[in-house]
Amino acid sequence: MQLSHNTILITGGTSGIGLAFAKEFKQRDNTVIICGRREDKLEQIMLQHPGIITHVCDVADEKQREELVEWLVTNYPDVNVLINNAGIQLDTDLTNPCNLDRVRAEIETNLVAPIHLSSLMAPHLRDKNGAAIINISSGLAFAPLAFMPVYCATKAAIHSISLSLRHQLKDTHVKVFEIAPPSVDTELGHDRREDKDQSHGGIPVDEFLAGAIEALQNDVYEAAIGQAQQLREKREELFEMMNK
H helices within the chain, ranges in order?
16-27, 39-48, 62-75, 100-107, 113-125, 149-168, 205-217, 227-233, 235-242
Q: What is the pLDDT of residue 237?
A: 79
Q: What is the pLDDT of residue 200?
A: 58
Nearest to 18 by CA among 65, 51, 54, 69: 54
Q: What is the pLDDT of residue 195?
A: 52
Q: Using 70 as the pLDDT threshold, list the residues of the chain that sit under it.
A: 188-201
Nearest to 227 by CA among 198, 189, 201, 191: 201
Nearest to 112 by CA among 61, 177, 37: 61
Tell me, yes or no, if the pTM score tops 0.85.
yes
Q: What is the pLDDT of residue 56?
A: 98
On the 0-12 / 13-18 / 19+ scale of CB atoms within 10 A, 116 is middle
Angular region, 194: left φ>0, alpha ψ -120 to 50, beta rest: alpha
**CA dist., res. 125 & res. 137, Å (int):** 21
**CA dist., res. 238 & res. 244, Å (int):** 10
In the DSSP assignment, the letter for residue 225 is -
Pairing mode of beta strands 31-36, 7-11: parallel
The DSSP element (H or E) to which 56 belongs, if any, is strand 53-56
Q: For the chain, list the domains and their CATH numbers.
A: 7-242 (3.40.50.720)
Q: What is the pLDDT of residue 196?
A: 46
Residues 137/155, Cβ–Cβ less than 8 Å? yes
pLDDT in tens, 140-163: 999 999 999 999 999 999 999 999
Could you tell me which residues come within 8 angstroms of residue 147 by beta carbon, excluding any fewer than 6 positions away?
91, 92, 93
Catalytic residues: 151
Strand, coil or helix: 222: strand
**CA dist., res. 91 & res. 192, Å (int):** 7
